[in-house]
Amino acid sequence: MNKLLKKVLNISIYILVLLVLTYCAVLFLGQRISVIGSSMEPTLSDGDNLIVDKITYRFREPKRFDIIVFPYQYASNTYYIKRIIGLPGEKIRIDAEGRIYINGEVLEENYGKEVIVDAGLAAAEIILGDDEYFVMGDNRNDSADSRFLSVGNIKRESIMGRAWLRIYPFQSFGILKHA
């Protein structure tokens, strides 16, 4: 009986250590998240499952075109996935033709799915603070993002991590393209 008790104790300790390590990995390293909606089409689709990298931004600042995950401020356990367009200290504006300007220069990018119809708050120049990012969905006309008060500029401390790897659907498995 002593051997059996010892074996059960060893297995229990092993399972406990495994659970603690898993908890720490999810808390500090990465987390699975599901895409709901079409705001990041064609890059990400409704139902995609991603791994969020929580480590990278501990060592470097977010970059333009990174796809980030952050909590929605008006609902608990709700996260948004958007692409960084504007960096701290920059001036952002979207003109009537749907062109995005950064510090007075047209942003050269090909992530937007179509011409922007509603510039929202960015119809007037937005000046980002030292810790603020301007984000947009790739499906520009079907995205609640920094152009609108419900999302606004994203503070650095609010960024949960960088969308890194698509794990489902399996035929689309792979590392996500950022810049």
- 51, 150 Cβ separation under 8 angstroms: no
- Confirm whether 11 is domain-assigned: no
Classify residue 7: in a domain, yes or no.
no
**Spatial CB neighbours of 177, under 8 Å, sequence gap ≥ 6:** 43
145, part of any domain = yes
Task: Count the Cβ atoms, other than its own, within 10 Å of residue 171.
Answer: 6
Catalytic residue, candidates 54, 82, 113, 143: 82
Q: Is 39 a catalytic residue?
A: yes
Domain region containing 136: 31-175
Task: Please report the pLDDT score of residue 61 as a whole number.
Answer: 96
Does 84 map to a domain?
yes
Instruction: In whole angstroms, give the CA distance from residue 147 to residue 60.
Output: 26
Q: What is the mean pLDDT of each run of 10 residues along the chain (179 residues)?
A: 79 79 61 90 92 92 96 85 97 96 94 88 97 96 95 96 90 81
Q: For residue 81, give Cα distances in angstroms to 12, 16, 138.
A: 38, 33, 10
Catalytic one of 3, 38, 39, 158 = 39
Q: Is residue 12 part of a domain?
A: no
The CATH number for 49's domain is 2.10.109.10
Contact 51, 162 (CB under 8 A): no
pTM over 0.95: no
- pLDDT at position 134 is 98
Tally of domains within the chain: 1
2 domain residue, yes or no: no
Q: What are phi and psi of 86, to 5 degrees?
A: -115, 140
